[in-house]
Amino acid sequence: MRICEIFRSIQGEGLQMGLPTVFVRTVGCNLRCTWCDTGYSFEGGREMSLDEIVREVGDCPRVCLTGGEPMLQPDAVDLMRRLLSMGRCIDLETNGSVDLSEVPDDP
């Protein structure tokens, strides 16, 4: 997967606000919204294997897959399935313009 950055922080939005979270920010987006605050994720980054990403996520129980648009990454669904199988909770931040039918449900 093409990854812009992986970092630990506190979720600042939505129902999970205030919870420790590892953010996995992917590279690339198919939209150019005027309000976007992550334009730096449109290009660049580094190629990472799923094993490398999982290692960097570590033992944090919450993972936010974000971008750019994470669903443009061919391995996004595989990453979510893998993290879910490890007991992680996943938040997916998407612009909704890409098919989400393969996104796994949180158990």
Query: What are the tens digits of pLDDT across the range 35-58?
Result: 899 999 999 999 999 999 999 999
Residue 80: partners with Cβ closer than 8 Å, 6 or more residues away: 65, 90, 92, 103, 104
Q: Bridge partners of 3?
A: 26, 46
H-helix segments, the chain: 50-57, 76-85
pTM: 0.94
pLDDT at 107: 61
**Tens of pLDDT along 51-105?**
999 999 999 999 999 999 999 999 999 999 999 999 999 999 999 999 999 999 8
For residue 105, what pLDDT is reported? 87
- Strand-pairing partners, residue 8, are 22
